[in-house]
Structure 1
């Protein structure tokens, strides 16, 4: 897959139908997802995709929800405010 100009890769976490996990993961890969982690027993997976492909992932049959990954930066332990 080639990256479109102005379309940065983003991390996503998806909940999918656990009874069709492998089938849905294959469809997500075809829709442009690079899978970075799978939790079949929970029916969840994580991966990266370009922003312009987000609607294609949501449209895959078997996707129950999709969230963008968020990064939280904590202050160092010796900082004055915790």
Structure 2
């Protein structure tokens, strides 16, 4: 798993209040989130943000959770270590 450096955008998945979805998404954008996908009926969205801004996203009223996307890199199939 690779850790991004500070200031480098990281992927995040957020759960928000579905009854206030548009309002919460707009507040998240003001905090620096670049939205890459929205699922308003489920109350979830995905996006990218500078790593140091994650706490600001968590503090937005209507945000239920913020999870960082995890990236795993597997060795090539012909690698001696599997």
TM-score by length of structure 2 reads 0.81
Residue 72 of structure 1 deviates from its aligned partner by 3.2
In the TM superposition, what whole-angstrom CA distance separates every residue of 1:10-49 from its partner, at most 9, and x where no partner exists?
A: 0000000000000000000000000000000100000000
Aligned twin of 1:30: 30
Number of residue equivalences = 78
Aligned twin of 2:44: 44
In the TM superposition, what whole-angstrom CA distance separates every residue of 1:41-68 from its partner, at most 9, and x where no partner exists?
A: 1000000000111111000000000100
Provide runs of 4+ in structure 1 moved above 3 Å.
72-82
Question: What are the ranges of 5 or more consecutive residues in structure 1 without an aligned counterpart?
Answer: none
Q: How far apart are the structure 1 equivalents of 2:6 and 2:50?
A: 9
Residue 73 of structure 1 deviates from its aligned partner by 3.7
Q: How far apart are the structure 1 equivalents of 2:36 and 2:25?
A: 11
- Backbone CA RMSD of aligned residues: 2.1
